[in-house]
Amino acid sequence: MFESIKSFLGAGPVLGVDIGTTAIKIVEIVPGSSEKKPELKNYGVLTTYGHLDRPNSAIQANALKIAEKETADLLKKIINEAKFSAKNAIASISPFSVFITLLEMPVMPEADLKKTMSFQIRQHIPLPLSEVAVEWTKVGERESDEGVKQQILLISIPNEIIRRYQNIFKLAGLNLKFLEVESLSLARALVGNDQAATLIADIGGRSTNIIIIDRGFLKANTTTDFAGASLTSAIANGLGINVRRAEELKKSKGLKAGAGQEELSTLPLPYLDAIIGEIQRVKNNFERTQGAKIEKIILCGGGANLIGISEYVEKQIGIAADSGNAFANLNYPPTVEILAKELGSELAVAIGLAIK
């Protein structure tokens, strides 16, 4: 959403900060060059578990409920524990805090487009324009029965959300330079210059974000409340155990529990099927309206590390599915190699922010 970042941040290391519903993830990256990839200098993940027992204790329970002081304290804790040195930060905003829509209209001169968009913005944004920050950009064209249509991605963020983030980072002692919708960060980290139509499912703790990137542009974005915590609760209720133990079993066994543990593998399936159903709905709607086929599916977020999930999603939908690895776009120490696949999925948003 913003240009000329280098002139603001300089050539030093920068923090990519992903404040999710149940975790804060930070990467510290040294900018690269035309010949060299950006370099991972440091990373940290702070996960909260209170939401498993008390849903309202999530870091972000809804669009406007982000506790500023508590979140700033968590930020300071992870910064001190991981010993980050950079102070300049780029942060993500969750899609449920943002209004995103794809508009289509006839091709027209730039001056006419600006006038038309001034009207369209008022028609599509549900808040007074004085209360939101608005960005729009052309993201392609499409042949239709009525001729060539240009596609415009419209994004608006409530000023109140921006103010809250600014206050959080100020309290944490960081310089918040930019905010970006996390869907754009995911696309940068996991899709890059790939022109294939790609669906990304970011399975977090309390919500799953489903986006479609086509020819390098964001074309669809939706969220569902079925996510990692839903799978954990299913295991806890089915086995009659506490949610912390259920979370441990989910991570260690996944969908491939051994003999005598078949119930453990099947308990999360109704909720996983609900996530897959939403993925299928978004995929079908895109293919019907855009006349293009989804060629691959990328799973990311903490939920993407569920053992066996890629194979299950691929079997249900019939399209190749794989866990995303944002580390592929970085140089990183050999000591990280053993964890690169898992971390590359979980840190995708933070990496996408930092490499911006």
Res. 11 pLDDT band, cuts 50 70 90: low
Render pLDDT for 86-110 as a digit per residue (tens, 0 to 9).
999 999 998 888 999 999 999 999 9
Render pLDDT for 114-135 as a digit per residue (tens, 0 to 9).
999 999 999 999 888 899 999 9
For the cut 60, the answer to whether the pLDDT of residue 61 exceeds it is: no
Domains of the chain as residue ranges with CATH: 5-97+158-229+268-354 (3.30.420.40), 99-157 (3.30.1490.300)
pLDDT of residue 260: 65
pLDDT of residue 185: 94
Bridge-partner residues for 90, per DSSP?
Answer: 16, 178
> How many Cα atoms sit within 13 Å of 308 on the Cβ side?
16
Task: Please count the other Cβ atoms lying within 10 Å of the Cβ belonging to residue 195.
Answer: 12
pLDDT of residue 205: 84
Render pLDDT for 312-350 as a digit per residue (tens, 0 to 9).
999 999 999 998 889 888 899 888 888 888 888 889 999
87-105: buried (b, 16+ CB within 10 Å) or exposed (e) per residue? ebbbbbbbbebbbbebbee
For the cut 80, the answer to whether the pLDDT of residue 1 exceeds it is: no
Res. 2 pLDDT band, cuts 50 70 90: very low
Q: Which of 18-22, 107-111, 214-218 has the lowest mean pLDDT?
A: 18-22
pLDDT of residue 63: 47
pLDDT of residue 37: 87
Cα 136 to Cα 131: distance, rounded to the nearest angstrom: 16
Contact 313, 294 (CB under 8 A): no
pLDDT of residue 194: 87
User: Which of 273, 72, 106, 297 lies closest to 199 in space, CA to CA?
Assistant: 297
- Per the prediction, the chain carries an average pLDDT of 87
Render pLDDT for 177-193 as a digit per residue (tens, 0 to 9).
999 999 999 999 999 88
> Which carries the bigger pLDDT value, residue 159 or residue 260?
159
Q: Which of 5-9, 78-82, 288-292 has the lowest mean pLDDT?
A: 5-9
Res. 253 pLDDT band, cuts 50 70 90: confident
Res. 310 pLDDT band, cuts 50 70 90: very high
DSSP characters over 287-339 = HHHH-----EEEEESGGGGSTTHHHHHHHHHSS-EEE--GGGGSB--GGGGGG
pLDDT of residue 137: 93
Ramachandran class of 46: left when φ > 0, alpha when ψ lies in -120 to 50, beta otherwise: beta
pLDDT of residue 65: 59
For the cut 80, the answer to whether the pLDDT of residue 173 exceeds it is: yes
Q: pTM for the complete prediction? A: 0.88
Pairing of strands 88-93, 99-106: unpaired
